[in-house]
Amino acid sequence: MWGFLFCDQRIYKKLMNVMGGCAASRCLNGRDRMRLKKGKSAMSDAVSFMDLIEAGDLDGIRALAEQHSTAVHRHMAYERPWGEELWLPLHHAVRLGKADVVEVLIEVGSNVNGRTRFAAGPTKARATALHVAVTENQLAIAEMLLKAGAEVRAQKADGATPREMVEAMIKAGHEEYEPFLKLIEQYEKV
């Protein structure tokens, strides 16, 4: 289940157009639907930021971030095989490979060094968006994050830096990660 954020009528209508009536309607409870029909803001369980990210709705993301400036810093639940992790919207956009959404999230103030949360152990716990970009083989997004100030030496809960992750992938025979190594070396010099 994704974390839900509040929205106003204009964002709800936009989501209805992108997702279709039934899907967007399920994001609201009855009271919120009535409030939106009257032109008021929904007060609970309204629109999932993740739905906007998945739909690539750049205007909807901007509008939601404008209406709720802390929304880009709010962790959302992401179900993993070992339990629930809490990811920031930026992590989700990186995982999906949505470079245009990543760019907008950075533009509206997402913390490029924000961390996932999880109590203990799994390899993605305490990961930055750069760690996720390496895991998902998103070179262009990794470069975008580094240009925006992502910490190239950030460590996850297991102590791994993006460089160590890339080196492990190359050692395991994944030559497609070699451009990552060059990119990381470029930013380590700065």
pLDDT of residue 51: 83
* C-alpha to C-alpha distance for 184 and 148, rounded to whole angstroms: 14
Could you tell me if 40 and 63 lie in one domain?
A: yes
Give the pLDDT confidence score for residue 7 in this predicted structure.
45
Q: Do residues 112 and 58 both lie within one domain?
A: no
Q: Which CATH number belongs to the domain containing residue 159 in this structure?
A: 1.25.40.20
* pLDDT at site 14: 52
Final residue before a domain boundary, out of 47, 68, 89: 68
Provide the strand spans (E) within the chain: 4-5, 47-48, 76-80, 83-87
One domain for residues 42 and 81: no
Q: Which of 68, 88, 120 is the last residue of a domain?
A: 68
Res 47: pLDDT: 53
Residues 159 and 178 in one domain: yes
Are 141 and 58 in the same domain? no
Task: Supply the pLDDT for residue 83.
Answer: 64
Nearest Cα residue to 162 out of 130, 188, 189, 190:
130
Same domain, 16 and 93: no
- Give, in order, the Cα–Cα distances in Å from 53 to each of 18, 105, 123, 162, 172: 11, 10, 24, 24, 32
Q: Are residues 106 and 164 in the same domain?
A: yes
Do 156 and 87 fall into the same domain? yes
Together in a domain, 59 and 7: yes
How much is the pLDDT for 82? 63
Q: How many domains does the chain have?
A: 2
- Which of 27, 45, 68 terminates a domain? The answer is 68
Q: Check whether residue 62 and residue 83 sit in a common domain.
A: no
Q: Tell whether 110 and 125 lie within a shared domain.
A: yes
pLDDT string in tens for the chain (190-residue length): 333 344 444 554 554 554 444 344 334 434 444 444 444 444 323 356 778 898 999 998 998 888 888 888 887 776 666 666 778 899 999 999 999 999 999 999 999 999 987 645 444 578 999 999 999 999 999 999 999 999 999 999 889 999 999 999 999 999 999 999 999 999 998 7
83 with 49, same domain?
Answer: no
The pLDDT, as a whole number, for residue 173 is 96
Give me the pLDDT at residue 25, please: 39
Residue 107 structural domain: 73-190
